[in-house]
Amino acid sequence: MAAVRSANERRLRRNAILYKTIGQCIIWAVLIVMYIPIMVLIAYSFTTATNIGTWTGFSFDLYKNLFQSEEIMVALGNTLLIAVISSVLSTILGTCGAIGAYYSKKRSRELLESVNQIPVVNAEIVIALSLTVMFVFFQTYILGGANVFSFWTLLVGHMILQVPFVYLSVKPKLQQMDPALYEAALDLGCTQSQALWKATIPEITPGIASGFLLSITLSLDDFIVTAFTRGAGLLSGDKSIETLSTLVQAKIKKGPIPPEMRALTTLIFIVVLIAAVLVTIYRNRTVKKVRKGRSA
């Protein structure tokens, strides 16, 4: 009997190990395939060949060229400026919107939420074109032909993409919040706005932070809305604002990715890697906190 059981156990254990190995192999295989394009670009950022696939010896020249390329540096600067400005404004607007809606009547809250949902589900191309058409409409019928496309139209375009997501990340934090805190602040002599600052805002900060980070990534990644709503301004001066997305798109329409941009990809990858590590550390810490809280 004992021998049979131990044989059975051994078989089960062997199956479990086999399952684990095969599972991990599948995960790694897909991961490796997913990273091939980026890894190839990174590898070829250390050689000066115009096309990937030919190796002309190891060098750091592309990194030097990258920082000397005014075009790329201007685009990079524009991209970061727009991301920060639009994200700050979107976070303020969306957070205020969420707080206001939370304390409004059910009907007006539901109305706001269904309109909020439109940009979330809408195709980016439709968002971009409907905005552009409205700006042109405004330009021809109200301004009498004066050019309206500028940094401001681009800012509105990015904010439309971001604010709904800020709203959606702040809303659950408001729902989880203890409503007694605000009342307590009022009882302790705070005015309404003081109570809001000292009791409500600290409670919903994690939601505001994740809304802000999401806004940053949405803005950094955007191409379509930028391409349609941009005008002259920022670091591009009198010329149409060029962001990383629009610059890369213009380049790859004509030919392969320019060599200096391979170096840029490496740098972006390093930044993303650091961000991922920070997110994982933060997540592990909060998970631990939650576990501790539960056991206590």
Partner 1 sequence: MSSNNAMHRSHNGWKTFKRIVAFKRKYLSIPYFVFLILFVIIPILIILVYAFTKTTDAGNLVFSFDSLVEFFSSTTKLNVLVVSLFIGIINTILCLLIGYPIAYLLADKKVNKNYVMVMLFVMPMWINFVLRTGATRDVLYMMGIKGGEHPYAATLIGLVYNYLPFTILPLYTTMIKLDKSQIEAAKDLGCNPAQTFAHSILPQSVPGIVSAAEMVFMPTMSSYVISDTLSEGKLTLFGNSIANSFNNSLWNDGSFMAFVMLALIFLTMFITNRFHKDETIEKGRLW
Q: Looking at residues 38 to 57 of the shown chain, list those that interact with partner 1 (rule: CB under 8 A).
A: 38, 40-41, 52-53
**Contact string (CB under 8 A) for partner 1, positions 236-255, x = contact:** --------xx--xx-xxx--
Angle (CA) 274-278-279 rounded to 5° is 115
Among 62, 154, 234, 264, binds partner 1 (CB under 8 A): 264
Nearest by Cα to 84 from 155, 132, 161:
155
- The residue among 10 and 221 lying less far from partner 1, judged by its C-beta, is 221
d(CA 296, CA 290): 10
Determine the interface stretch with partner 1 among 27-35, 143-151, 204-212, 233-241 (rule: CB under 8 A): 27-35
* Torsion angle in degrees (nearest 10) through CA of 227, 228, 232, 233: -70
- How far is Cα 95 from Cα 155, in angstroms, rounded to an integer? 18
Terminal CA-to-CA distance of the chain, rounded, Å?
A: 45
Nearer to partner 1 by C-beta: 72 or 234? 72
Q: Please answer whether residues 234 and 82 qualify as being in contact, where contact means their C-beta atoms are separated by less than 8 angstroms.
A: yes
Pick the binder of partner 1 from 1, 36, 142, 146 (CB under 8 A).
36
Name the residue nearer to partner 1 (CB basis): 145 or 296.
145
- Residue 27 interacts with partner 1 (CB under 8 A): yes or no: yes
- In this complex, which beta carbon is closest to partner 1, that of residue 176 or of residue 280? 280
CA-to-CA distance for 128 and 37, rounded, in angstroms? 29
Pick out residues in 171-230 that bind partner 1 (CB under 8 A): 191-193, 196, 217, 220-221, 223-224
The count of chain residues that interact with partner 1, using the rule CB under 8 A, is 85
Residue listed under structure tokens 């007694």: 180
Q: Report if residue 142 touches partner 1, rule: CB under 8 A.
A: no
Closest CB 1 distance from partner 1, rounded Å:
22
Dist. CA 157–CA 132, nearest whole Å: 9
- Pick from 62, 72, 160, 208: which binds partner 1 (CB under 8 A)? 160
Residue number with CB closer to partner 1 (29 or 188): 29
Q: Where are the beta strands (DSSP E) in 8-132?
A: none
Contact 237, 71 (CB under 8 A): no
Site for partner 1 in 66-125 (CB under 8 A): 93-94, 96-105, 108, 112, 115-116, 118-119, 121-125
In whole angstroms, the minimum distance from the beta carbon of 151 to partner 1 comes to 16
Considering just the CA atoms, what is the radius of gyration of the chain in Å? 26
129 interacts with partner 1 by CB under 8 A: yes
